[in-house]
Amino acid sequence: MNDADRTSIHEAMEQQSISISKAGIVTTLQARCAIIAAANPIRGRYNPTIPFQQNVELTEPILSRFDVLCVVKDTVDPVQDELLARFVVGSHLRSHPKFDSDKEEMEVGSTLDADIIPQDLLRKYIMYAKDKVHPKLYDLDQEKLSRLFADLRRESLATGSYPITVRHLESMIRMAEASAKMALREYVRGDDIDLAISVAVGSFVSAQKMSIKKTLERGFRKYLTQARDHEELLAFVLGQIVKEKARFYQLQRHQQPESITVKVSELDERAKEHDIYDTSPFLRSKLFAANGYKLKEGTIEKTFRQGNE
């Protein structure tokens, strides 16, 4: 990137405008848009022993203007590799002119595609949220954000990674507002703030070199493990609901139930009592399946083995 392009993108990302001086015309154009940039490692493969900045050769002023930095690594995972292979093969089969969607869709399809939103509906949803929904910040946990910002600044200076500036504090507020806007809410809730903090901390930790990454993960564990804590809490809540229904069934019929079904809406209501407003990540988690639950058309099914409680 040459100096002229670097100066232009600095202004566009900082001021959301671009200054033009050409042919005697001096003006400023609006540049209000989101910027998503991708960079390949300079050595062809990401080196975890050096910081993010040295892997992509981007300057500190540019890096500090991005809200989130994501490191995408090609890690070996048999489960994910199998899903990826099925997706690629299925895409090729669907594009074949002799593909029969009625007969062969079930064979090449994936359960991951069950809840995909049609593209037209998704586009309308995004446009409506962008134009009509403007969440407001109330009861902002200033102490929590201030303490986190101070911790990130201290670790940034100590580790020599990319600098943490006031822009990152503003980024967390923007991400919290975006989380509320995505759900079409008028107010930013505590879980929106927690999500923004988790994303910001995860971005900071993932951009560090391997030698200090583990130390930072332990230091910021209370921010990074929140989603996992929610899953464990929801697993406990769902287990309590299942036990209540099984006990009621035994008292009513004097026998062990073969299976118990729980409506997702019932779990949602119980989750709100613990300030958890979105149970969908838990319903897709490994912990949900590991506990023997199955999700079928808005209901959760738990099957019991014969002779066991």
pLDDT tens digits, residue range 179-238? Answer: 999 989 998 888 888 888 888 888 888 888 887 887 787 778 777 656 557 788 888 889
Q: pTM of the full predicted structure?
A: 0.64
Strand partners for 27: 20
Rounded Cα distance, 292 and 280, in Å: 17
Rounded Cα distance, 131 and 133, in Å: 6
Is the confidence at residue 120, as pLDDT, over 90? yes
Half-sphere exposure of 203 (CA within 13 A, CB side): 21
pLDDT, position 124: 95
Q: Nearest to residue 41, comparing CAs of 63, 67, 72?
A: 72
Alpha-helix residue ranges (DSSP H) falling in the chain: 3-15, 52-56, 60-63, 78-94, 101-108, 119-132, 142-159, 166-182, 190-206, 210-219, 221-224, 226-253, 264-272, 280-283, 286-290
pLDDT, position 165: 81
pLDDT in tens, 253-306: 878 788 889 999 999 998 888 778 888 888 988 889 888 899 988 899 988 765
Q: Where are the domains of the chain?
A: 3-63, 78-111, 119-226, 228-303
Who's near 9: CB < 8 A, 6+ residues apart? 1, 35, 62
Rounded Cα distance, 278 and 227, in Å: 11
Return mean pLDDT, the chain. 81
What class is the 119-226 domain? alpha beta
Is the confidence at residue 137, as pLDDT, over 90? no
Q: Nearest to residue 140, comparing CAs of 185, 198, 188, 196?
A: 188
Is the confidence at residue 308, as pLDDT, over 80? no
User: In this structure, are residues 133 and 185 in contact, taking their beta carbons and an 8 Å threshold?
Assistant: yes
pLDDT, position 306: 54
